[in-house]
Each structure stands twice: as structure tokens, then as C-alpha cells.
Amino acid sequence: MEAIGSRRWAIAEGYIPGQSHGPEPAMTSHETACLLNASDQDARVEITIYLSDREPAGPYRVTVPARRTMHLRFNDLEDPEPVPRDTEYASVIEADVPIVVQHTRLDSRQAENALLSTIAYAQG
């Protein structure tokens, strides 16, 4: 299939709640970038994390294989440094083939979980 998407995306909202309720890991508060690579080539993806009070962190590197999706939890990013909890951030996601990016959060700080999701911003 011909590739769908863009090589450059941004998510201006980012926040990993430090607390959770409910069974792990499905109900752990988390922040996800859902990445779809519908192309026939593996996508090498670089993520840069922007913060409010210091220089950006990253890049974090992942590979999304051809014709696969990856639901990447920011909680799991460890290299070069973990993404801080209870801290506002934003992200820019760049790939060497077109991909599609959607942003989702499960917030389980209270007894009942809340959800948000939005397509990310695609450049060009």
C-alpha cells in the first residue's frame, strides 16, 4: 500500500500523572503516541521532548516496522533519560517515511479513569 501520513508531527500537550488507580499495566496512568507505519519500509522515528524550563530531552529512537503500528508509552522512554512525571512537556516526532501519529492519555489518578485523544499536528 502507498504510504499515508507525514514525516513530521508535534504533540503540544504532554503530562504523565504520577499516580494511578486500578490493575497494572492497563489502568496505569499513561501517555501514548500511537504510531502507524502503513508503508512498506521500516520507519526510523526520533522523538524530542520539550519542557518548560530547560533544553529539550532526546532524541529518543524507535523503529516502527513496515505495515505495523506501535503504541508508544512515553512512560517507557528511558534512553537518554526518563520523561519526568507530573511535569508538562510537548513532543516533536520525526520519521524517515510517512507515518500517522495520534496522542492518547489514560488518567487514573482518581477512582474512575478519564481518557483524551487527538490526532497530532502534521507538518506539511
Give least dist CB 18 to its own copies, A: 9
Residue from 25, 68, 80, 84 touching its own copies (CB under 8 A): that is 68
- DSSP for 40-72 reads SS-EEEEEEEEESSSPPEEEEEEEE-TTEEEEE
Residue from 50, 61, 80, 83 touching its own copies (CB under 8 A): that is 50
Sort 69 into a burial class: Cβ within 10 Å, 0-12 / 13-18 / 19+.
Answer: middle
Q: Quick check: 24 binds its own copies (CB under 8 A)?
A: no
Give least dist CB 1 to its own copies, A: 7
Give least dist CB 15 to its own copies, A: 8
Q: Is 89 helix (H, G, I), strand (E, B) or coil?
A: strand
